[in-house]
Structures are given as C-alpha cells and as structure tokens.
Amino acid sequence: MNPSPSRILCAAALAAALSASAGGLGLFTDQGDVGKAGRPGTAAYDPYQDAYTVGASGANMWFKADAMHYVWRRVSGDVSIAADISFVGTSAQGHRKACLVIRQDLSPGSAYVDVARHGDGLTSLQFRAEPDGMTQEIQSSVPAPRRVRLDKVGDTVYLSVAGGDGVLRPSGASFRLSLADPFYVGLAVCAHDDAAFETAVFSAVAVGGASAEAAAPQPGLRIITLPSGDRRVADH
C-alpha cells in the first residue's frame, strides 16, 4: 500500500527538522573554549529533551581570567537568560561550575557577570567589573536552586533563583555593569581542575526580554560582607 500524501509531507517535515537540528545549538549560534583548556570542551543540544549538555576542563572562572567552555549568542539591550542546571555524575571537585554568563567579549579577562552553580550547591552572582580585573561574588541564600535566571535591565544585572517549589524569585543580589552592544549571553562550564573534565545539563533554557519584576526591591533581604571579602545575601 502506498503512503498517503499527508504521511509523505509529515515524514518530509520531520526529516527537515532533524536535518536542521543536527549539529545545531538551539537558541545559540556558536561554542568554544575561552581561556586555557586542558581538553577541548563539548556541547550538544537535544531538541526533544530541550536540553544542552556542556562539558569542559579549565582551572577556574575567577580572579583575572576565565577558563571554560562557552555556548553563546550575541545580543543587545535588555535581556534575560534562565535555565534548570544539573551536573552529570559525582565529583570530588566541589567547585566545578555550571553558569549562565553575560560577558562583553570572548577574551579570558572580559568584563562579565554570571550566575555560577557550584558542584557543592553554592550559587552566586559572580562579576568582573573591568577587563582583566579581579572577580568578586555575592552568594545566594538559596543553595542548589532548581532554576536560575539573570535579567539585564539597563546597566544592572539581577539574579533570581527558585527553591523547591520551582518558582523564580529575586535573590536580592545584583551588580551594575555597563556593556557595549552587542555583547554575549550563554551557557558555560568549568571543571575547576584543568586536568579533569566535568559535564552539566542546562534544560528548559530561555533567552528573552528582561523582567522589571527582577529589579523590584526585596524587603527583608540584605547583603553582608564575609571575612573573605566576598558578600552574601542574608534573609533576616
């Protein structure tokens, strides 16, 4: 029995979709290692699971330079990026990082701001205010959030996190960083050990307009300075 014309059209459409997605990066346009990488990083997008699997080596995303694998697109103006983040497998490296990153350029010392989910659950807003400057952070009061989001509103980037209920709420952490259009937004992984290779999955990734709700004042949240000089959001 010959297939119906409608089935032929459906099969052709599916084949075209599979062909278009093969090797594609979904919402993003390119990928590559930033900084020194002991092993080349990898990235793959699964359109059926709506998930990006990103793997990397790299010593750190800290101090005056970053070493990471980055999946990115160029954007301008106000923007947001959100994702659920999970690590693949167990690791002795508590500071392996999976991040949503907004940065000026692809140089290791670029000015940037990100939300870094660490392997041990620590989640923080990291930032480098100027090229080749030192990195600082504001730690979230919510460990290992299910979902994280960055909103760039004007020159300020705000962090929102979701607890066990999965609802995103402003974390109280923000940083003012002036970026020239266009700049980069995307997903990054760093092993925190250049001899190692760590992998994370970013699912339900969304890139879109910024939300004014992210910038709303958060009564009851305050930022305290830690002995290390870094800062942390306190909820009382």
In a domain, 31, yes or no: no
In a domain, 23, yes or no: no
In a domain, 57, yes or no: yes
What is the pLDDT confidence band of residue 74, given thresholds at 50, 70 and 90? very high
Q: How many angstroms from the chain centroid is the CA of residue 204? A: 12
Give the residue, 19 or 191, on which the prediction is more confident: 191
What is the chain's Cα-based Rg?
A: 19
Separation of alpha carbons 215 and 171, rounded Å = 10
172: its two tokens: 């109280």
For residues 202 and 85, the answer to whether their CB atoms sit within 8 Å is: yes
Tens-place pLDDT, residues 182-205: 999 999 999 999 999 999 999 999
Tens-place pLDDT, residues 112-151: 999 999 999 999 999 999 999 999 999 999 999 999 999 9
In a domain, 1, yes or no: no
Q: With CA atoms as reference, report the closest residue to 159 among 73, 42, 62, 80.
A: 80
Domain residues for the domain of 162 are 40-213+221-234
Q: How many angstroms from the chain centroid is the CA of residue 135? A: 16
Separation of alpha carbons 122 and 98, rounded Å = 11
Separation of alpha carbons 132 and 153, rounded Å = 24
Q: Is the previous residue joined to 108 through a cis bond, with omega within 30 degrees of 0? A: no
pTM: 0.89
Separation of alpha carbons 11 and 221, rounded Å = 54
In a domain, 27, yes or no: no
Separation of alpha carbons 123 and 144, rounded Å = 6
In a domain, 201, yes or no: yes
Separation of alpha carbons 93 and 216, rounded Å = 35
| Over residues 227-232, mean pLDDT | 85
Separation of alpha carbons 52 and 31, rounded Å = 12
Separation of alpha carbons 122 and 132, rounded Å = 24
61: domain CATH number is 2.60.120.200
Tens-place pLDDT, residues 21-72: 445 999 999 999 999 999 999 999 999 999 999 999 999 999 999 999 999 9
In a domain, 13, yes or no: no
For residues 190 and 68, the answer to whether their CB atoms sit within 8 Å is: yes
pLDDT exceeds cutoff 90 at 16: no
Cβ count near 224 (within 10 Å): 10
User: How many domains are there within the chain?
Assistant: 1
